[in-house]
Amino acid sequence: MLQIDTNEEIKEFMETFFRNMAVEKYIRVLNEFKNRTGFGMENIHILFYSDFEEWDEFRCKENEVALIMEYPVVAEDTIGYLDFLRLYDFLVAKSRNYILNQSEQLYEINELLKEVKNSFGLE
């Protein structure tokens, strides 16, 4: 499995993960993340520690997520790891885009972001 290491590769992964995601699905993602549950679609996933089996060699640490892209999204399966703070920062930035285009979702998204932040222990 190839490694996702650089900031540019991580940013590209996140853009791919959230590309063309409707606000309803984004809200579902935030609901999953606040429970530290992973989410994936079409061979691209963000997974938490509890999403893995104990023996899994690619299991992430308890305070991070695994970023996984599989063929055919990429030519060779890739994995990277992102700590909760950096993931939260991506979620805040992405939320701004949704709020700009879906202002009626402002309250719900902001409340979910608070719950994600609390769940991640980032207060």
Beta strands across the sheet bearing 44-48:
2-4, 78-83, 64-69, 44-48, 39-41
pLDDT at 102 (0 to 100): 82
What pLDDT digit, counting tens, does each position of 76-105 carry? 999 999 999 999 999 999 999 899 888 889
Determine the structural domain holding residue 46 and report its residue range: 2-119
Whose CA is closest to 12, among 2, 20, 23, 4?
A: 4
Neighbours of 110 (CB within 10 A): 13
Say if CB 105 and CB 23 are below 8 A apart. Answer: yes
Cα-based distances in Å from 66 to 96, 100, 109, 111: 23, 28, 23, 24
Domain count, the chain: 1
Per-residue pLDDT band for 9 (boundaries 50, 70, 90) equals: very high
Q: pTM of the full predicted structure?
A: 0.93
pLDDT at 101 (0 to 100): 83
pLDDT at 35 (0 to 100): 97
